[in-house]
């Protein structure tokens, strides 16, 4: 049994301008204790909808989210049970997720669910601040008195106040400057390790996910198209979309290679192509790609693509040009 299991989750909604939108369309993944699972993809691929669905902030249209085998209630934030609060979200924007009119200490005390929290709230607030690298005096101060990086530390302390087992971090450092980014990422990774948490780390930054994630899942237009141990996904991507994301990264290599950019934009989730969703942008598209691609397993790695069935692996466009 996994610590967190996301099973066939769908998030659908109707939008006045776009009609029926399938933001998340049958996503399954697991997160174990002490594990960082990185979820990557371009903006608009459904990563944030999935994150919100996992923590109960978005309606799950179908499928289930299980924590230690028990379903997490698909309810609003306020009605979350003691079981549900074991899943905590760290949002992108530390400015928006704190109350500007209340001290850090009072905001932390409000969320306390730890065993020691009831006996000694003040002591527990000090322990939480220490855990995220802030001084005890921070408890008396207000959010505006902190830098962006410090505020994100406070947000993390508040998530920890709930005594969570899983953190869902949606672009947690995107709003921060480069040096704070590294510090906050290091903090999150250390906490996962020290406290035995599981973390679903959502980011458009493939290089960052490569650094910290044990497992990488690549999302495209509402679905995971490839997943596996990070080193394996990175060294031998099986899906052309993963290949294209990696090729789009700036390279530091002796042999200059043409940067292969992704052609076009992610289609609107209200107008999903039939068959393989990546087909309109895929350099390898074939007739068969008009039908749903099979899932191909390669050890612990898997991808959903017709290419392996045809005895091929995705190449960069430069490789293709050389053939």
Q: In the numeric block, which tokens belong to residue 183? A: 């510090």
Chain CA centroid to CA 40, Å: 7
Could you give the CA distance from residue 71 to residue 66 in angstroms, rounded to a whole number?
4
Minimum CB separation of residue 285 from ligand SF4 in Å reads 4
Task: Say which entry of ligand SF4, Mg ion, none residue 224 contacts (CB below 5 to 8 A, set by partner kind).
Answer: none
Q: Give helix 178-195 / helix 148-161 axis angle, nearest 10°.
A: 20
**Contacting residue, 23, 240, 242, 316, with ligand SF4 by CB under 6 A:** 240
> Sheet of 19-31: strands edge to edge?
19-31, 4-15, 62-67, 70-71
Judged by CB under 6 A, the stretch of 78-86, 153-161, 245-253, 273-281 that binds ligand SF4 is 273-281
Phi and psi for 279 in degrees, rounded to 5?
Answer: -50, -50
Which long-range CB contacts under 8 A does 177-184 form with residues at least 24 apart? 177/148, 177/149, 179/149, 180/147, 180/148, 180/149, 180/152, 181/149, 183/149, 184/149, 184/152, 184/153, 184/156
Minimum CB separation of residue 146 from ligand SF4 in Å reads 45
Is residue 285 close enough to count as binding ligand SF4 by CB under 6 A? yes
**Contacting residue, 48, 49, 242, 315, with Mg ion by CB under 5 A:** 48
Task: Say which entry of ligand SF4, Mg ion, none residue 48 contacts (CB below 5 to 8 A, set by partner kind).
Answer: Mg ion
Minimum CB separation of residue 276 from ligand SF4 in Å reads 3
Is residue 230 close enough to count as binding Mg ion by CB under 5 A? no
As a residue count, the chain comes to 323
Beta bridge partners of 224: 219
Minimum CB separation of residue 204 from Mg ion in Å reads 8
| Closer residue to Mg ion (CB): 150 or 181 | 181
Could you give the CA distance from residue 111 to residue 162 in angstroms, rounded to a whole number?
6
Is residue 278 close enough to count as binding ligand SF4 by CB under 6 A? yes
**Contacting residue, 91, 201, 302, 306, with ligand SF4 by CB under 6 A:** 306
Could you give the CA distance from residue 125 to residue 99 in angstroms, rounded to a whole number?
17
Alpha carbon of 234 to those of 10, 117, 242, 243, 286: distances in Å?
Answer: 27, 42, 8, 9, 25
Report the 10 Å Cβ neighbour count for 58: 19
Is residue 30 close enough to count as binding Mg ion by CB under 5 A? no
Judged by CB under 6 A, the stretch of 27-35, 53-61, 163-171, 283-291 that binds ligand SF4 is 283-291
Judged by CB under 5 A, the stretch of 33-41, 48-56, 205-213, 307-315 that binds Mg ion is 48-56
| Closer residue to ligand SF4 (CB): 44 or 273 | 273
Judged by CB under 6 A, the stretch of 109-117, 158-166, 244-252, 299-307 that binds ligand SF4 is 299-307
**Contacting residue, 54, 173, 307, 316, with ligand SF4 by CB under 6 A:** 307
Could you give the CA distance from residue 219 to residue 155 in angstroms, rounded to a whole number?
26
| Closer residue to Mg ion (CB): 146 or 220 | 220
Is residue 302 close enough to count as binding ligand SF4 by CB under 6 A? no
**Contacting residue, 24, 151, 305, 316, with ligand SF4 by CB under 6 A:** 305
Query: Which residues would be at the binding site for ligand SF4 (CB under 6 A)?
Result: 239-240, 276, 278-279, 282, 284-286, 289, 293, 305-307
Q: Interface with Mg ion by CB under 5 A: which residues?
A: 48
């Amino acid at each position: 049994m996994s610590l967190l299991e996301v099973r066939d989750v769908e998030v659908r909604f109707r939008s006045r301008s776009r009609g029926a939108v399938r933001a998340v369309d049958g996503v399954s993944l697991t997160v174990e204790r002490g594990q960082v699972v990185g979820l990557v993809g371009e903006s608009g691929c459904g990563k944030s909808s999935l994150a919100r669905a996992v923590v109960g902030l978005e309606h799950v249209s179908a499928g289930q989210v299980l924590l230690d085998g028990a379903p997490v209630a698909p309810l609003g934030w306020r009605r979350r049970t003691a079981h549900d609060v074991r899943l905590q979200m760290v949002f992108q924007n530390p400015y928006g997720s704190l109350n500007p009119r209340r001290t850090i200490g009072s905001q932390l005390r409000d969320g306390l669910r730890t065993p020691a929290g009831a006996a000694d709230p003040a002591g527990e607030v000090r322990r939480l601040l220490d855990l995220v690298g802030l001084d005890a005096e921070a408890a008396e101060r207000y959010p505006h008195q902190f830098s962006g990086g410090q505020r994100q530390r406070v947000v993390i302390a508040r998530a920890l106040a709930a005594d969570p087992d899983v953190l869902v971090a949606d672009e947690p450092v995107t709003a921060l400057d480069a040096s704070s980014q590294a510090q906050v990422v290091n903090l999150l990774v250390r906490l996962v390790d020290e406290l035995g948490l599981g973390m679903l780390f959502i980011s458009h930054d493939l290089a960052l996910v490569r650094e910290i994630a044990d497992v990488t899942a690549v999302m495209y237009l509402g679905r995971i198209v490839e997943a596996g141990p990070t080193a394996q996904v990175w060294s031998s991507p099986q899906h052309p979309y993963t290949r294209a994301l990696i090729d789009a990264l700036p390279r530091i290599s002796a042999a200059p290679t043409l940067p292969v950019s992704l052609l076009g934009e992610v289609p609107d989730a209200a107008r999903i192509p039939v068959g393989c969703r990546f087909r309109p942008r895929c350099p390898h598209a074939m007739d068969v790609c008009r039908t749903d691609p099979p899932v191909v397993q390669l050890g612990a790695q898997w991808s959903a693509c017709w290419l392996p069935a045809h005895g091929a692996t995705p190449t960069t466009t430069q490789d293709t040009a050389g053939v």
